[in-house]
Amino acid sequence: MKVLVDTSVWSLVLRRRKPKSNPIAVELENLIADLSVQIIGPIRQEILSGIREESQFKKLRESLQEFPDLPLTTFHYEQAAEFFNLCRAKGIQGSNTDFLICSVEVKQDIPIFTTDQDFSLYQTQLPIKLHAF
């Protein structure tokens, strides 16, 4: 089963100093070993943004290159806008990237692996699935 890994998970595992015994890190390692990890360009951009040291940026960029981006289409962007509007009408705010992730999940049926609690809110209005482990 493929899994769309959100920025929050990548950030926790790749950019922060956390012990390997962290269950989120262990699950990501398992997904990588199973060749189940999926990523989209906007997630890659979020992960790489804000890194001050060029050497660290290059190292992280190289690590992520083994995961090709899923192709995004006009449909994904239009559906993301619909999701944004639907949630906003219900008082739920979110980023464009979050709703794009939701669109990819719905269109491709790829559960989202995230630590971001906003996705639980989106789930009350959108037919998205979150990766449980």
DSSP the chain: --EEE-HHHHIIIIIS---TT-HHHHHHHHHHHTT-EEB-HHHHHHHHTT---HHHHHHHHHHHTTSPBPP--HHHHHHHHHHHHHHHHTT----HHHHHHHHHHHHHT--EE---THHHHHHTTS---B---
Strands in 37-38's sheet, in edge-to-edge order, are 37-38, 3-5, 112-113
CATH fold of the domain at 1-133: Rossmann fold (3.40.50)
Token pair in block for residue 44 = 């890659």
Taking only the tens place, the pLDDT of each residue in 20-41 is 678 999 999 999 999 999 999 9
Taking only the tens place, the pLDDT of each residue in 115-132 is 999 999 999 999 999 999
Nearest C-alpha neighbor of 73 from the set 33, 28, 41, 121: 41
Taking only the tens place, the pLDDT of each residue in 91-110 is 999 999 999 999 999 999 99
Enter the pTM of the model: 0.93
